[in-house]
Structure 1
Amino acid sequence: MAPGSGTTVSLTAPVRLRDRTAGSRVLFGPHETNLARDREFSDRHVAYYARRAAGGAGVIVTEIASVHDSDWPYERAPLAADAGPGWAEIVRACRPYGALVLAGLGHAGAQGSSAYGQQALWGPSRIADVVSREVPMELEQPEIDALVAGFAAAAAAAAAADLDGVEVNAGQHSLLRQFLSGLTNRRTDGYGADRARLLREVLTAVRVAVGPDRVLGLRLCADELAPWAGIVPESAAAVAVSVAGLVDYLVPVRGSGMSVSATRPDLHTEPGFNRGLCAGIRAAVAGAVLVVLQGSVVDPAMAQAVLDDGSADLVEMTRAQIAEPDLVALVRAGAAGRVRPCTLSNQRSMVRDPRNPIVSDEAEPRSGHETEDPPVEGRAPDPGEVLVVGGGPAGLEAARVAALRGHRVRLAERSTRLGGALRLAAAVGGRARMGLLIPWWERELARLGVAIDVGVEITEADLDAAADTGVAALLATGSRPGPFGFATTAGTVVLTAAELQRSVLRAGSTAAALARLPDGVVVVHDPVGDPTGVGVAEQVAAAGRPTALVTPDQVAGAQLTRTGDLADANSRLQRAGVVRELRSTLRSVGAGRARLEHVWTRERREIDCAVLIDCGYRLPEDALWSARPHLPRAGDCVAPRTVHEAVLEGRRMAMAVGATGAQPTRSATARPRAAAPR
């Protein structure tokens, strides 16, 4: 509802901010992209934001730019002093679609990095950051004055670039939040006695710099999840009230340096988790300022319900619009069912990472690559008939894109259901959201008229017959279990993770599937360290079985650092009673025992093991391709990886069909050339 009006508003309806009107009540929030060139906004940024504006985003807040050269938090972090030309290009690209474009402004303070700027980090007090363990320099008045001036100069530059305003960051990775918090602010001067003083000074200076007609937003930490000393909702509400006259909207968020993943958690956290927090802040400011809900809101129905019950005035749907750039346009057209689901896995959207990956989405790989990858909707120059072999993510996407491009498509899957390995991955404990993509693909294929045959195995003869009639065959046959890396002897049941999940799906529950197996300790072998091993261990323990997780790594689920779930996952394992056998190589299993070897000392030991579940590596299911190597292939039958690679390759494979007017034939013998790197 609009503040104080008592009237219901639509998610797709315009909203007034200061003297400007946004085309919808959906905000695309600031986030790391790694799209910068040096520390400047690039043409890739322009295309990325313009795509969301074209899809109906009402407010777009650009990636947070550092307001002072003392702050270089990650290698491709924008710097406000260098941002002007890029900001101007973004505005020119987005404004025709009715989106307001705001500059995200901030300073990471003690949550930054000294690796790039080779300067001491800034902080309110000499409190080491819990992640980097680096002790910051305690700011004196000259540095505080320079910080305030930096915010003002950055805001003035944004106004000069004709942006519609700015959003100041006092949330995650923020020096302003560090001043607000008793966890990090132990000062005895005026900035310690009144921890909100610096925030007010910054907002006052920024308001003057942007002028009276541009929008000023504030991203405010309202709960650091550390009530013994940190920001709590009550203190945040008081801060919100004190600055309400300076800002046009507030985005309450949660999380601190001690809980970085809490701001944008992965799929283990329920969507809309900040709803109560947001409603509390909105009640405190009593209509004096618009309030935006942030917190894994990815479902348009949930977003509308938030507006209907008065919890917020706008809704941030950042990851949802990475997954589906046309989200608002589809809702506006009455086609919400076509919105591509966001899994919240964070596998491609979390990029504050030493590898510098580019922001993207596992099921929409064009996100972040708008300047390189063409849209899939264009009609093929020579549409024909296509046979897609395999109904996993690569095959489903290949069939969808081929149909969008005008081909007559048949998809054949040898199992009785579509989804392939993704259906099994979604059965792993805590990862059910991954399965949301399967019914979306099924709906899209039905809409596009794709013929689907399940329970049908395609043979070499079928491929030859297809080629003889001019049908282009595309292979997406998935993967198979790799060889065990340990010896097995009689006396212990050994299953792969895929076999366990198939059993779970057949039995209807994990407990029912495990009831068919011998009693005793279930050992989960995880040589990979991805979400599978940890998820299977949680799943088995939740079903009431004593569980041990064996990994060669220093910590369970080592790869979960990339999704922000590492600490949370290990906490869940601890609470579930899972015994973690770290730095351990599984050498053999049998006779009710698993034999382990320490990776450093080679010390051998044994643990009880009634059932072993192997979460090891898989190999391509490439028998058909080996027999007909001239045919294009995609996904796990090339090399088993994640959903993202499967979807990307399935899409590229479908885009190539009919592109030159030629169809693959039996006489062709050359293997396909590898796609050029991005």
Structure 2
Amino acid sequence: MTTLAGPVTLAGLRAPSRVLFGPHETNLGRDREFSERHVAYYARRAAGGAGVIVTETASVHPSDWPYERAPLASACGPSWKSIVDSCRPALVLAGLGHAGAQGSSAYSQSALWAPSRVPDVATRELPMEMEPGDIRAVVAGFREAALLAAESGLDGVEIDAGQYSLLRQFLSGLTNLRDDDYGRDRVRLLREVLEAVRGPARIVGLRLSCDELAPWAGITPEQGAAVVRELAGLVDYVVPVRGSGMSASATRPDLHTEPGFNLGLCRAVTGTRKVLQGSVVDPVQAARALDEGVADLVEMTRAQIADPDLVAKVRAGQAPRPCVLSNQKCRVRDVRNPIVSCVGEPRSGHETEDPVLEGADRPRDVLIAGGGPAGLEAARVLAMRGHRVELAEGSDRLGGMLRVAAKVGGRARLAALADWLEAEVRRLGVRISMGTAVREADIVATGSVPGPRSYQVSSGTVVDVVDLLSGHKLPAGPVVLADPAGDHVAVGVAELLAAQGEQVAIVSQDLVIGKQLSLTGDLADANARLRRAGVRLVKRSLLREVHAGHAVVEDAHTGARQEIECAVVIHCGHRLPRESAFGRERAGDCVAPRTVHEAILEGRRAALALCEESVLT
């Protein structure tokens, strides 16, 4: 781990570690500027040991307004300076880019700019073809942004030619159909941009899509490597990434994709220093890539959202809080405009408003009922503050619903967070009583029970999904999953059962199965996996009756009914709070069953509320 946590020099400037915190959407902005929330967010990672911080990609020209709070470089001078001042000794680079046809016209109310009139695969919007004057304006925008970044004290810039970028669109045969010099030489615009920023910027990095996963016309790994060799003299490092509009989930996949998926792509690139990117969240994997010469630095963005102190903990020989790669809170480019955060570290993105956890309170005895994620986090925080904590758990295992969720197909990584929370409370000396139910406690975090069902059951069999995942044996025959929630549960259980050879159908009122997975980027991939597994998708339908041997479903639009073969229904719906104990504070599912993020957040808040009582008394 010495190499990972040790210093590295870029263009004569020293970074305190080889860990890079990469550019990503945060929705922390104020108008189109970086805000004080950005400053605190980046400063927290710098304090935790990040060696290089690349700020959220700023648009270099007003024609680009890809999402509501996207930074505009020309407005970012003062806030860039504040970020630099707060992040030393880390090196700070400005992410610079233009989204082109992958942007949005909703805010600018103007046509999108693109190399050619090729509708975007995702939005289907037809862009305008850029004229020579438009191209010159973009190059000038990059130059002026680099100048402003240098004047603001930044150490350099990172140019975005990755998945969501105009520069990639010019490089690709999928989107560049021009017959002028910018079509005959697709690298020309990127070369001109790098030459334009090379003077003002001390460090020049390049984020480059080296594989669009569309070999019939897109950038291939061989072509990507050739581009790097051609431009190596203009950059100080390159971050090889994969993906394009044809493969939107490939650049930032969720936990179904193994970490380090760009190792091969990074190995193939030569000619300049390289940064390994691709769901790298394990310090051991990152250190191995450095030791084997695969890369010179490692981007660990989501890992540092999950634990800002990742590098500091590596130096101290401690285990950082794991990133489970669920994308549930850190993927924020959607219509809700959520603020970046993390299911396991709710303070991420909220550094300016949430209190720090460390402190020294007047010690008191605290009893917590429930050893799920809410109870574990409450116990961890209270023990960190010096209190004497007892955790009473009614079952024979800590982790609660988090461990159940880890049994859903494709979501095994969630167990790592449960393991870490358990290890932390044990390390901090929390007294744990297993198989113990209490009627009254200081903090109640006793979880949930099965919720209501909106269908009639006559002689058929219905099993709650939690019981199934806890070991309930199913009768032989076809399985129907009732999915009123539309999230990852029914999808993952269907994959799990199909892999075991079961005949499976999912019944959902939605037009697409797993509708909520659009928020994590897994919607298209999940439906493709279900189809490959042979799962029957009963869409736009409501489960109405369950009988021995069959179920009755009703078309949500027409009311027409049909019977489907069924030996057992697995209910994957919402749950209700468990009302089993009394206490001053309640947290997690016993308030309202939701996700692990809310459970940990409320467990932390309950603990801090008791800490405040301790101070006052």
* TM-score interval, smaller chain: over 0.9
What CA distance in whole angstroms lies between the structure 2 residues aligned with 1:661 and 1:610? 55
Whether contact under 8 Å (1:9, 1:308) holds in the other structure is no
What CA distance in whole angstroms lies between the structure 1 residues aligned with 2:96 and 2:474? 56
Tell me the equivalent position of 2:560.
Answer: 603
**Correspondence for 1:651 among 604, 608, 614:** 604
Name the CA shift for 1:46/1:301 in 2 (closer, same or farther; >3 Å). same
Whether contact under 8 Å (2:364, 2:614) holds in the other structure is no
Map 1:92-103 onto structure 2 (within 5 A): 92-95=85-88, 98-103=89-94
Q: How much does 1:447 deviate?
A: 1.1
1:375 corresponds to 2:356: yes
In structure 2, what residue type is equivalent to 1:324? D
In structure 1, what residue type is equivalent to 2:130? L
1:188 corresponds to 2:179: yes
Whether contact under 8 Å (2:461, 2:548) holds in the other structure is no
**Correspondence for 1:365 among 342, 346, 353:** 346
CA RMSD of superposed structures (Å): 1.2
**Correspondence for 1:262 among 235, 244, 250:** 250
Whether contact under 8 Å (2:239, 2:274) holds in the other structure is yes
Residue-by-residue CA offset, 1:501-542 (whole Å, 9 max, x unaligned):
001xxxxxxxxx6xx422221111111111101101111111
Name the CA shift for 1:386/1:593 in 2 (closer, same or farther; >3 Å). same
Tell me the equivalent position of 1:476.
Answer: 445
**Correspondence for 2:80 among 87, 90, 97:** 87
Map 1:391-470 onto structure 2 (within 5 A): 391-459=371-439, 463=440
Q: How much does 1:259 deviate?
A: 1.1
Q: Which runs of 5+ in 1 are unaligned?
A: 1-7, 464-471, 504-512, 665-678
Map 1:627-666 onto structure 2 (within 5 A): 631-661=584-614
What CA distance in whole angstroms lies between the structure 2 residues aligned with 1:659 and 1:26? 36
Q: How much does 1:19 deviate?
A: 1.8
What CA distance in whole angstroms lies between the structure 1 residues aligned with 2:21 and 2:236? 17
Residue-by-residue CA offset, 1:43-100 (whole Å, 9 max, x unaligned):
00000000000000000000000000000000000000101111000000001xx200
Q: How much does 1:9 deviate?
A: 6.5
Map 1:28-43 onto structure 2 (within 5 A): 28-43=21-36
In structure 2, what residue type is equivalent to 1:38? D
In structure 2, what residue type is equivalent to 1:453? S
Q: How much does 1:13 deviate?
A: 1.0
What CA distance in whole angstroms lies between the structure 2 residues aligned with 1:605 and 1:573? 22
Q: How much does 1:229 deviate?
A: 0.6
What CA distance in whole angstroms lies between the structure 2 residues aligned with 1:313 and 1:123? 33
Name the CA shift for 1:9/1:55 in 2 (closer, same or farther; >3 Å). closer
**Which has the higher mean CA deviation after the structures are superposed, 472-481 or 646-655?**
472-481
What CA distance in whole angstroms lies between the structure 1 residues aligned with 2:508 and 2:33? 42
1:488 corresponds to 2:457: yes
Q: How much does 1:246 deviate?
A: 0.3
What CA distance in whole angstroms lies between the structure 1 residues aligned with 2:560 and 2:86? 62
Name the CA shift for 1:240/1:658 in 2 (closer, same or farther; >3 Å). closer
Map 1:291-370 onto structure 2 (within 5 A): 291-335=274-318, 337=319, 339-370=320-351
Q: Which runs of 5+ in 2 are unaligned?
A: none
Tell me the equivalent position of 2:68.
Answer: 75
What CA distance in whole angstroms lies between the structure 1 residues aligned with 2:2 and 2:442? 49
Residue-by-residue CA offset, 1:282-304 (whole Å, 9 max, x unaligned):
xx32xxx2100000000000000
Whether contact under 8 Å (2:448, 2:590) holds in the other structure is yes
In structure 1, what residue type is equivalent to 2:310? L
1:498 corresponds to 2:466: yes
Whether contact under 8 Å (2:2, 2:315) holds in the other structure is no
SS of aligned partner of 2:5 = coil
**Which has the higher mean CA deviation after the structures are superposed, 272-281 or 518-527?**
518-527
Q: How much does 1:662 deviate?
A: 7.7
Tell me the equivalent position of 1:274.
Answer: 262
What CA distance in whole angstroms lies between the structure 1 residues aligned with 2:309 and 2:564? 53
What CA distance in whole angstroms lies between the structure 1 residues aligned with 2:445 and 2:2? 45
In structure 1, what residue type is equivalent to 2:477? G
Residue-by-residue CA offset, 1:451-490 (whole Å, 9 max, x unaligned):
011111112xxx2xxxxxxxx6100011110021111011
In structure 2, what residue type is equivalent to 1:349? C
What CA distance in whole angstroms lies between the structure 2 residues aligned with 1:663 and 1:422? 34
SS of aligned partner of 1:378 = coil
Map 1:96-111 onto structure 2 (within 5 A): 98-111=89-102
Whether contact under 8 Å (2:27, 2:70) holds in the other structure is yes
Whether contact under 8 Å (1:66, 1:78) holds in the other structure is yes
1:112 corresponds to 2:95: no
Residue-by-residue CA offset, 1:515-571 (whole Å, 9 max, x unaligned):
x42222111111111110110111111111111011000100000011000000001
What CA distance in whole angstroms lies between the structure 2 residues aligned with 1:231 and 1:9? 36
1:614 corresponds to 2:571: yes
Length, aligned pairs only: 617
SS of aligned partner of 2:614 = coil
SS of aligned partner of 1:258 = helix
What CA distance in whole angstroms lies between the structure 1 residues aligned with 2:212 and 2:433? 52
TM-score by length of 1: 0.90
Q: How much does 1:493 deviate?
A: 2.2
**Correspondence for 1:121 among 109, 112, 128:** 112
In structure 2, what residue type is equivalent to 1:480? V
Q: How much does 1:383 deviate?
A: 2.5
Map 1:136-175 onto structure 2 (within 5 A): 136-175=127-166
What CA distance in whole angstroms lies between the structure 1 residues aligned with 2:422 and 2:372? 11
Q: How much does 1:208 deviate?
A: 2.1
What CA distance in whole angstroms lies between the structure 2 residues aligned with 1:658 and 1:562? 35
Tell me the equivalent position of 1:241.
Answer: 229
